[in-house]
Amino acid sequence: LLRVSTAATLSGTVVSSDTTNILGVVEGLFPNTTYYAKALAYIGSSSSSLTNFGSTSTLANAVTGAMVAGIFALIGLVHYLCRRPFLALSFDHERARVDKLNVLLWDFLFYALFGVVVTIIVHLFGVLLTFSFLISPAVCANLLVRTLVAQLAVGWVIAALASGVGMVASYQLDLPTGAALVVALGLALLLVGAGNVLRRHYRAAAH
């Protein structure tokens, strides 16, 4: 017998159900609410006393795909409309000051939008996977090409290839998908970095 209530004394029991399984599933709970749980075990005709499992809190309402798509579409639109000051600040901070851009305002707007995106993605996929996708493809692209358009294209390709390799490895080797993706992205960065070092070495030797 499983009892769940919003009151520590279980005076207002919201769930009271019998189950023949070790695992008890409670449905219909409200988000952002603290619940207290107790369980009673039956063995034949006898039963144990209620065991207190303490309290736990339910999570906030889950972020839906439509909600994420809407937020990201809005942020993408803002980035498109503000692309000139964002690019100016990204590639030449001093020139932006000379051109009398409000550096503090544009920096605040950029990092505020960046914070919203990272917060949502970390909530969905976790810190390690989020920052692996955020850093590894960008660094690889920066090592391989110079123009912004080329860097975007190369970064997307590397992220897609590393994702494919990670998911295949996860399926074939029965590994956790998130960890496999992180390792694949790390290996991509390692290979590109090693290739860049060798390229510089051969160029220096040629001269």
pLDDT tens-digit series, residues 152-191: 999 999 999 999 999 999 999 988 899 999 999 999 999 9
The four Cα atoms 142, 146, 152, 156 give a dihedral, to 10 degrees, of -50
pLDDT above 60 for 55: no
What CA–CA distance (Å, rounded) separates 162 from 154? 12
Where residue 65 falls among pLDDT bands split at 50, 70, 90? confident
pLDDT tens-digit series, residues 70-122: 999 999 999 999 999 998 888 887 888 888 888 899 999 999 999 999 998 98
What CA–CA distance (Å, rounded) separates 169 from 165? 6
- 93: number of CA atoms within 13 Å, CB side? 4
What CA–CA distance (Å, rounded) separates 138 from 198? 20
AA identity, residue 21 = N
Where residue 44 falls among pLDDT bands split at 50, 70, 90? low
- 12: number of CA atoms within 13 Å, CB side? 4
> Which neighbouring-strand residues pair with 38?
3, 52
The contacts of residue 176 (CB under 8 Å, 6+ apart) are 170
**Inter-residue contact 58 to 31 (CB < 8 Å):** yes
Q: What percent of the chain has pLDDT over 90?
A: 45
Which of 60 and 6 is assigned the larger pLDDT?
Answer: 6
Angle CA 141–146–152, to nearest 5 = 45
What integer is the mean pLDDT of 188-196?
94
Which of 15 and 77 is assigned the larger pLDDT?
Answer: 77
pLDDT given at position 17? 58
